[in-house]
Structure 1
Amino acid sequence: MLGQTTVPLVGMVDTIVVGRTGDAAALAGVALGTTVVNFLFWSFGFLRMGMTGMTAQAQGAGDAEEVRAMLLRGLALGFGLGVVLFALQLLLVPLAFALLAGGGALDAAASGYVGGRFFGAPASLGVFALNGWLLGLGRTRAALLLQIAMNLVNAVLDLWFVWGLGLGARGVGLGTACAEWSALLLGIFLALRILGPGALGGLSARLFDRDTLRRLFAVNADIMVRTVALLVLFGWFANAGARLGEVPLAANHVLMQFVSVSAFVLDGFAFTAESRIGEAIGRGARTELLRATRLTGEFTLAAGAAFALLIHLDGVPLIAAVTDHPEVRAHAVALLPFAALVPLVGAPAWLLDGVFIGATAGRSLRNAAVAATLLYLATDLLLRPWGAVGMWAALLASYAYRAAGLGLALPRLVRSVGEPLAEAPREA
């Protein structure tokens, strides 16, 4: 949970540094640019999620050689895809902006931010793989150290580039990119220390095992479709704010920082579920799977309710701390009750994501995400006459749709695990 608390601080620092300049266009530009970067970078989020489940299952099965091979596969795949993404930015970024309702100064600020972030594309995807591997092994302290280091570098460089050098939104993007490169180098160092000297030698045959690679790409393809579907959902939400103007878009971005913090902290329970359930499936232990699901579910729901209460009670001063633009503040305060409900309504979906990622049940994740996105789009169109209120109501409904889809698939997942449920002893 501590490690996850630091993840959204990258976006929070970016938002505060620009938000305190009083430039609504720059803040809205970072919001729009963040949507573009998240869509393009997190399309490869399977590098984190697929790595966690498969590493945990190899660990549960006692296959130390496969654990080591997973690290090399993940790093090579992440870095290679990041290089391709960097090379294709001249094609992908204009296309992304063409699909979003920006224009004028908003697009200029967003383009500067995105251009800066793309320098970190190979490192960002490499860190996805490293985080997935560390979480799969249950090495949460190493993952925490990685995130803290990245956030510290990001905060220092953001302040220097924006307030010191006056680089604006582009400086925010460059600061985050440099922080991602520092995190990649630190993550490789930590992984090598965990494995010990010479641990990566003699793995060439295992690295290119055909059956393992086929399974890796099959799981990752399903997770990639799932991720893209959810990115479409959140991209649609951001575009709905942009359609209403700079101030509503900036206000939504401020509120989404609170949502992000709560979501990432609650993901700490989901990551615990990923690791424990992956190990349980590796051992064929159905009772362990059920126990991990129940315990992480109870904690997730309790924490979701606590976050909802915290945002509702302390949201107004937090909004004032993030931005000093009076119109943005007023708009954000009016929509605060909806943002406060997200941790509570979204908790079941986030927890079930962890369960199915740990099980590498990519097909169920894909189907639930696609169905939830389609239902969300229909709901948003239906509620569009309600303006910003309808937009946030549709977002809340999307979490319920996703939880329902995964909940329906849960009994089948439980039945698929080898160990039968313990039966009560019969009376003599």
Structure 2
Amino acid sequence: MSALLDAWRHAPTQRKVWALAAPMILSNLSVPLVALVDTAVVGHLPHAHQLAAVAVGGSLYTLLTWAMGFLRMGSTGFAAQAAGRGDGGALRQVLLQGLGLGVCLALLLSLLAIPFSSAALSLMQPSAELDQLARQYFQIRLFGLPASLATYALIGWLLGTQSARGPLAILLTANLLNVGLDLLFVLGLEWGVAGAAWASVIAEWSGAMLGLWLTRGALARYPGHLDSRALQRWSSWRPLLAVNRDIFIRTLALQLVFFLITVQGTRLGDATVAANALLLNGLTLTAYALDGLAHAVEALCGHALGARDRHALRRALLVAGAWSLLASIGFALFFLFGGHWFVALLTDIREIRALAQVFLPYLAVLPLLAVWSYLLDGLFIGATRAREMRDAMLIALALSLPLAWWLQSLGNHGLWLAFLAFMGLRSLVLGGYAWNMNRRNLWFPPGEITDAQCAATRE
């Protein structure tokens, strides 16, 4: 308890946590806002299939880009550790590797995108008008794919250098420009669905260009020279690729859980799957807020590990953990006592409202269980220990699936109990990995401490 109080009273750590967390929370919350504006703008077009085309085409594009989210997380840990060591050369290498990997993946995905979209649309069996417009929207959005993936790497790298205002500027610029161009192209110039797609492409490239420009300031703070020969050696790429691979597997396992919830909810009836989807929006809102603190943990813990500063690592974890717990308690109380307002805001269908309110207590418990997995994910990302994140996710999934099968007789209550167990197991297993690494002194393995690390530690 004394360690927690000492860390809580440490004003520099409090300032560092919120200097990173507050901009990232605002950045995160700007993302769903754009989706709402897109829907509202296209929703004013005269035909229903136009709105459906943006929804379908956008979902296909989001699936491609979301699967590459490891570019952001992988860059953060390596950049934070390089910054902690004061190693400007390594920072430049991480930046170029992230950008290069993003562009290569964009080219690969572009080759797979057309057959992928054709297969997906054939499974959906849309009308001829919807099929044509959805393909048009999706194919236009592909022009922004390199910029979108490069932005992932840029945001992760900037966050690793503890420049949270950079990601905020990128996302706000891109999202606000997207909104403005939507209004101009769709309603002003009457370009319809194609206008909405081109608005997103221009916004994505604008965000990427701004991100490249913002790297100048971070690089100026960490002078050094890029070793161009290192980029030609496989050994220089292996750590980054291994981390990205493990994060990718971990993310696929997490999305499998949400997919199975949707599948099982569908078997329980249309009203049940709608109510579950509505309540999971509450989890998404919670995750956007708590992820801001997790992002702060990524940057601060990665920096402390690079500087080999045990005290800074402990303080960052304790302060961010305390704020995360307080925030999760706040969300739990809101969903428990004010959840009916949240449900009423999202739907006016009486049957779905009534059903969602029955399961609100599960949503209230969820932040208290999930918060620790968010926080520990931040620690492991900062430490570039993605293998433990991957294994914890797979273990939690393997233990939860039999439980979900056993609880089927309880209907939707059983489904929510299994989901709560999954989130709790995920936190417990991650906590077990963290405790074991601390016991075996694996956070700071023996090694020579450079002058730059000593200087960084003293600061």
Question: Under TM normalisation by the shorter chain, which class is it?
Answer: 0.7 to 0.9
Displacement of 1:208:
3.1
Paired with 1:28 and 1:374, the residues of 2 have a C-alpha distance of 36
Matched, 1:11 2:32: yes
Paired with 1:241 and 1:103, the residues of 2 have a C-alpha distance of 22
Q: Specify whether residues 257 and 152 from structure 1 end up closer, same or farther in structure 2 by C-alpha distance, changes over 3 A only.
A: farther
Counterpart selection for 2:416 from 374, 383, 392: 392
Matched, 1:236 2:260: yes
- The residue correspondences of 1:74-223 to structure 2 (distance < 5 A) are 74-93=98-117, 118-157=142-181, 176-196=200-220, 203-223=227-247
Cα deviations across residues 79-120 of structure 1 (Å, max 9, x unaligned)? 221222122113334556789xx6657x95895676665443
Cα deviations across residues 252-311 of structure 1 (Å, max 9, x unaligned)? 444333322221221121111111221222122333323322222111111111122234
Larger mean CA deviation between 307-316 and 272-281 belongs to 307-316
Superposition TM-score, scaled by structure 1 size: 0.81
Letter in 2 for 1:5: L
Q: Specify whether residues 325 and 179 from structure 1 end up closer, same or farther in structure 2 by C-alpha distance, changes over 3 A only.
A: farther
Paired with 1:322 and 1:178, the residues of 2 have a C-alpha distance of 31
Displacement of 1:48:
0.9
Paired with 2:419 and 2:216, the residues of 1 have a C-alpha distance of 42
Paired with 1:402 and 1:189, the residues of 2 have a C-alpha distance of 38
CA contact (8 A) 1:301 1:344 kept: yes
Displacement of 1:145:
1.4
Matched, 1:418 2:439: no
CA contact (8 A) 2:106 2:149 kept: yes
Counterpart selection for 1:275 from 288, 299, 303: 299
Larger mean CA deviation between 108-117 and 4-13 belongs to 108-117
Letter in 1 for 2:79: T
Instruction: Tell me what 2:18 maps to.
Output: none
Q: Specify whether residues 299 and 202 from structure 1 end up closer, same or farther in structure 2 by C-alpha distance, changes over 3 A only.
A: closer
Paired with 1:9 and 1:348, the residues of 2 have a C-alpha distance of 24
Matched, 1:55 2:76: no
Letter in 1 for 2:102: G
Matched, 1:266 2:287: no
Larger mean CA deviation between 383-392 and 135-144 belongs to 383-392
Larger mean CA deviation between 127-136 and 178-187 belongs to 178-187
SS of 1:188 mapped into structure 2: helix
Instruction: Tell me what 2:427 maps to.
Output: 403
Q: Specify whether residues 29 and 234 from structure 1 end up closer, same or farther in structure 2 by C-alpha distance, changes over 3 A only.
A: farther
SS of 1:7 mapped into structure 2: helix
Superposition TM-score, scaled by structure 2 size: 0.76
Displacement of 1:359:
0.7
Displacement of 1:159:
5.6
Matched, 1:286 2:315: no
The share of aligned pairs that are identical, in percent, is 36
Paired with 2:417 and 2:120, the residues of 1 have a C-alpha distance of 25
Paired with 1:79 and 1:284, the residues of 2 have a C-alpha distance of 33
Instruction: Tell me what 1:42 maps to.
Output: 66
CA contact (8 A) 2:93 2:226 kept: no
Instruction: Tell me what 1:424 maps to.
Output: none
Paired with 1:392 and 1:289, the residues of 2 have a C-alpha distance of 35
Paired with 1:373 and 1:161, the residues of 2 have a C-alpha distance of 45
Paired with 2:148 and 2:288, the residues of 1 have a C-alpha distance of 17
Instruction: Tell me what 1:296 maps to.
Output: 320
Displacement of 1:157:
4.7
Letter in 2 for 1:75: L
Matched, 1:383 2:404: no
Letter in 1 for 2:283: V
Displacement of 1:180:
2.7
Gaps of 5+ in 2: 1-21, 447-459
CA contact (8 A) 2:185 2:195 kept: yes
Displacement of 1:324:
5.6
Instruction: Tell me what 1:374 maps to.
Output: 398
Gaps of 5+ in 1: 421-428
Larger radius of gyration: 2
Instruction: Tell me what 2:375 maps to.
Output: 351
CA contact (8 A) 2:73 2:156 kept: yes
Q: Specify whether residues 25 and 397 from structure 1 end up closer, same or farther in structure 2 by C-alpha distance, changes over 3 A only.
A: farther
Aligned residues: 417
CA contact (8 A) 1:116 1:172 kept: no
CA contact (8 A) 2:88 2:224 kept: no
SS of 2:407 mapped into structure 1: helix
CA contact (8 A) 1:54 1:278 kept: yes
CA contact (8 A) 2:163 2:218 kept: no
